[in-house]
Amino acid sequence: MRANSTTTYGSVTKSFHWLTALLVISMIPLGIYANGLPFDTGEALAHKAQMFSVHKTLGVFIFFTALARIIWAVSNPKPALLNADKKMESLLAEIVHWSLYAALVLVPLTGWVHHASTTGFAPIWWPFGQDLPFVPKNEVLAHNSASLHIIFERVLAVSIVLHVLGALKHHFVDKDITLKRMLPGTTEPDSIPPQHRSFTPIFGAIGAYLLALLVGASLGLFSAPAHDHSDGHHDHDHDHGHETVQEAVVDSGWAVQDGTLSITVRQFGADVTGSFAEWTAAINFDESADEDGKYGDVEVQIAIASLTLGSITGQAIGPEFLDAATHDTATFKADILADGDGYTANGTLTLAGTTSPVNLPFTLQIDGDTATMQAQSSLDRKDFKVGESYPGEGSVSFAVGVGVELTATRN
């Protein structure tokens, strides 16, 4: 029998039920295991990413399986409840049933939105890309979808426990065939009590989710501390960084009005781009070179902890890489020299406790007292002893792209 009847479940429904159960039972402990794995070496990070990729891929499969299961369920007769004469018990069972259906869609969906709204770390193993339509790369969206994922996971876990307890009660206490109806073969009930169908269970499930959201909000899951890098998603105030720049450079020749300092790393074959929210630049520049061929000089101070780098922010500023706790500031000091049709800032960068020569070519357009500067370059993390426990490029590339865009006015 493929379809349901008013008294029994068909083989398709049974297959959906046990396939979903197997996937969920696999996915939940896998997620807990992956989350607890270390990433202090390249091999450890690769294993952690692999486990998260399996977890995410299973989640996407569960999402589509759940949608197919729901479509099948609403297009088929629903077998009668064998405890319909116990109105409160049957109502609670139906609420749990609808909560489960919702969780099977919402848990993987929120996880998928979180994955699509951030960058880096573990990819989904399928050929259709890592993005979702209408889901931008956005830190606030990433944080909130991660929080929703956590809340809905808890609803899913509670619903599973109640669902299993209910099935066991039917089998061992009530001694009816509710559980047997989901096993292979056809089992007909001896009698069916009067049924009482309504939308109350759906509203009950909605109420359960609203309660879960209120609990999550009260625990602060939707409040992302500006500099908490524990989960890699933050809401930095970038304007604050620019205000700090303006205040710090009043005695230099040029005052930065607006700008972006970005970096790009390649992890597991995918580029991850982020930026520093807090940095200052003291710039002295003249259109005519002095007797040494210098057009001026620049000194940039960068707050390492203000870096946002997708889902790998915590790793990037952690002790294995930029080590913001020990080396909170990076400093770039350079002379400005001619470089073909443009210029170059030729000097040193002190990063993570190591100083190394850096040459940063840039273009410059000056309109009156306003200058616009753009630069693209690449650094080698090995030059700064960054990520030494990641000796190969299988996990994280050696090359780190650096991008600078700023507008400054002459003081």
Write out pLDDT tens, residues 307-348. 999 888 888 999 999 999 999 999 999 999 999 999 999 999
What does the alpha-carbon distance between residue 212 and residue 219 come to, in Å, rounded to a whole number? Answer: 11
**pLDDT tier for residue 251 given thresholds of 50, 70 and 90:** low
Task: Indicate whether 118 pLDDT > 70.
Answer: yes
What does the alpha-carbon distance between residue 320 and residue 352 come to, in Å, rounded to a whole number? Answer: 10
Report residue 323: phi and psi, to 5°: 50, 60
Task: Indicate whether 227 pLDDT > 80.
Answer: no
259 belongs to a structural domain = yes
What does the alpha-carbon distance between residue 87 and residue 94 come to, in Å, rounded to a whole number? Answer: 10
Q: Between the CA of residue 209 and those of 80, 107, 204, 299, what are the distances in Å?
A: 26, 12, 9, 53
End-to-end CA distance of the chain: 83
| Domain co-membership, 127 together with 172 | yes
Task: Indicate whether 238 pLDDT > 70.
Answer: no
229 belongs to a structural domain = no
| Domain co-membership, 361 together with 397 | yes
What does the alpha-carbon distance between residue 349 and residue 343 come to, in Å, rounded to a whole number? Answer: 18
Task: Indicate whether 12 pLDDT > 60.
Answer: yes
| Domain co-membership, 299 together with 341 | yes
Return the CATH number at 191. Answer: 1.20.950
pLDDT (0 to 100) of residue 247 = 41
Sign of CA dihedral 2, 71, 187, 5: negative
pLDDT (0 to 100) of residue 231 = 37
CA atoms within 13 A on the CB side of 56: 22
| Domain co-membership, 388 together with 271 | yes
Contact between 233 and 260 under an 8 Å Cβ cutoff? The reply is no
2 belongs to a structural domain = no
Domain extent for 107:
11-218
369 belongs to a structural domain = yes
3-state secondary structure 25-41: HHHHHHHHHHHHCCCCC
The number of folded domains in the chain is 2
- What percent of the chain clears pLDDT 70, i.e. is strictly above it? 93
Average pLDDT over the chain reads 90
Residue of 157, 144, 155, 158 lying closest to 221 (CA atoms): 144
| Domain co-membership, 327 together with 182 | no
pLDDT tens-digit series, residues 133-192? 999 998 899 999 999 999 999 999 999 999 999 999 999 999 999 999 999 988 899 889
- Strands (DSSP E) contained in 33-117 are none
Average pLDDT over residues 263-289: 93
pLDDT tens-digit series, residues 59-92? 999 999 999 999 999 999 999 999 999 999 999 9
| Domain co-membership, 209 together with 149 | yes
69 belongs to a structural domain = yes
Contact between 153 and 106 under an 8 Å Cβ cutoff? The reply is no
Average pLDDT over residues 241-262: 68
223 belongs to a structural domain = no
195 belongs to a structural domain = yes
Query: Helices marked H in 129-270 — which ranges?
Result: 139-168, 200-218, 238-248
DSSP conformational letter for 170: I
Provide the 10 A C-beta neighbour count for residue 237.
Answer: 12
Contact between 20 and 92 under an 8 Å Cβ cutoff? The reply is no
pLDDT tens-digit series, residues 383-408? 999 999 888 888 899 999 999 999 99
Task: Indicate whether 233 pLDDT > 50.
Answer: no
Report residue 224: phi and psi, to 5°: -95, 110
pLDDT (0 to 100) of residue 244 = 42
Helix axes 87-117, 200-218, angle to 10 degrees: 50
